[in-house]
Amino acid sequence: MRSTPLLLAAAVALLAATAGLAAPPPSAPDALLARAQELLDRGQAEEVAKVLAPLLRGANPDARALLLASSAEIQLGDEDKGRRDLEHAVQLDPSLRQGWLNLAAMEIAAKRYDKAYDDLLTAQKLDPAAHDSEVNLGAVLLLQGKLEPASEHFKRYLTLEASSPNAYYLVATNYASAGYSALALQHLERAIELDERSRLRARTDANFADLGNDPRFQRLLARDSYRPPAGAYFARQVYPVRYDAGDGKLLDAVLEALRIAKEPFDPTVEVTDDWALVWGEMRIKVGREANGQGSVELSAPPERMTPAEWERRSARLLREILIHLPA
């Protein structure tokens, strides 16, 4: 069963399910649970009850089915019934760790933080090796204004997830939501060091809304501190068109060149006043020179392609950019 680390603005961690079989055999509960999970994942919560019906009949319903049903009910806005079924599920089977996590999330939403903490401790005892327990417990303590013990939980979480940019990002969002700007920026900076796309993610994350006018946050979002790994391929070309985030002529030429060259790339582009980044099998940075001209830098880790492929693909892309520049 899956679990999801909690944020300060916690949403219930939901088990999910799949589309319904016409006449599912009653001897296949796992198949029904899997289908219900898929339905929840797809946002089709209204179909879940039909799929789970064979497991919910009688005086002894399946606890796992009740857990899924409660998630669907909460998605559909019936929180009272969802909570009753959730509490019934963990009463029938107290080993359902996800059930305790879901209960904790509901308690957080109701601002009953002591009860949420107790539920999270129960979840931790059910799986002492689960890393998310540390960040969840820290999040609740932070909501209670208990910075020091919350930070201890976060430190243990980051020790367990030392190479995970998402772990640092998650801790940063918790600190930011609670108003601890310096700690939020410290952990966000580390998340960006591990994966620069964390910077793009932070630009539109409501958890950082209160930091929007903070000069330290602005500097962090404006800084490209990426360093290619050892042995990385690199190519650079200056063009007779300036980089301008406002008119986007050079960036437009880069994107069109990528399409023409059939180079795979992420359509989500990070754009600042001084540079833009496009990610794909190559990392493509579009920026400006001191003399006002625009430049394009291409890089890729050595394991991404052979030297011959790099030479061919980078040369074609730089040539296509020139072709597609405005006259």
Report yes or no on 53 lying in a domain: yes
Q: What is the pLDDT of residues 185-241, one digit of tens each?
A: 999 999 999 999 999 999 999 999 999 999 999 999 999 999 988 999 999 999 999
d(CA 11, CA 7): 8
Please say which residue of 128, 149, 175 terminates a domain.
128
267: which strand partners? none
Q: Cβ–Cβ contacts within 10 Å for residue 174, how many?
A: 28
d(CA 19, CA 223): 46
Question: Does the pLDDT at position 25 exceed 80?
Answer: no
Report yes or no on 76 lying in a domain: yes
Tokens of 33: 């649970």
What is the residue range of 57's domain?
1-128
Q: What is the pLDDT of residues 280-295, one digit of tens each?
A: 999 999 999 988 899 9
Report yes or no on 106 lying in a domain: yes
**pLDDT value for 26:** 47
For the purposes of burial, counting CB atoms within 10 Å of the CB of 31, is it exposed (0-12), middle (13-18) or buried (19 or more)? middle
Cα dihedral 158, 159, 160, 164, rounded to 10, equals: 50
Domain CATH number, residue 282:
3.30.70
Residue with tokens 């919910």: 56
Report yes or no on 224 lying in a domain: no
Question: Does the pLDDT at position 300 exceed 70?
Answer: yes
Report yes or no on 136 lying in a domain: no
Closest to 170 in 3D by CA, of 153, 188, 186, 152: 188
Closest to 272 in 3D by CA, of 326, 196, 187, 191: 196
Residue with tokens 């600190």: 175
For residues 115 and 237, state if they share a domain.
no
Residues 6+ apart with CB under 8 A from 266: 278, 279, 280
Please say which residue of 102, 128, 154 terminates a domain.
128
Q: What is the mean pLDDT of the chain?
A: 90
Domain CATH number, residue 32:
1.25.40.10
**pLDDT value for 186:** 98
Which residue stretches of the chain are H helix? Answer: 29-41, 48-56, 63-75, 79-92, 97-109, 113-126, 132-143, 147-160, 165-177, 181-194, 197-203, 215-222, 249-260, 307-323
For residues 123 and 244, state if they share a domain.
no
Question: Does the pLDDT at position 103 exceed 90?
Answer: yes
pLDDT band (50, 70, 90) for residue 18: very low
DSSP state of 265: B
Report yes or no on 242 lying in a domain: yes
Report yes or no on 301 lying in a domain: yes
Residue with tokens 């879901």: 102
Closest to 281 in 3D by CA, of 268, 255, 303, 300: 300
Tokens of 316: 């074609």
Residues 6+ apart with CB under 8 A from 248: none
**pLDDT value for 28:** 65
- Domain count within the chain: 2
Please say which residue of 128, 150, 181 terminates a domain.
128
Report yes or no on 9 lying in a domain: yes
Q: pTM of this prediction?
A: 0.85
Question: What average pLDDT does this structure show over 144-169?
Answer: 97
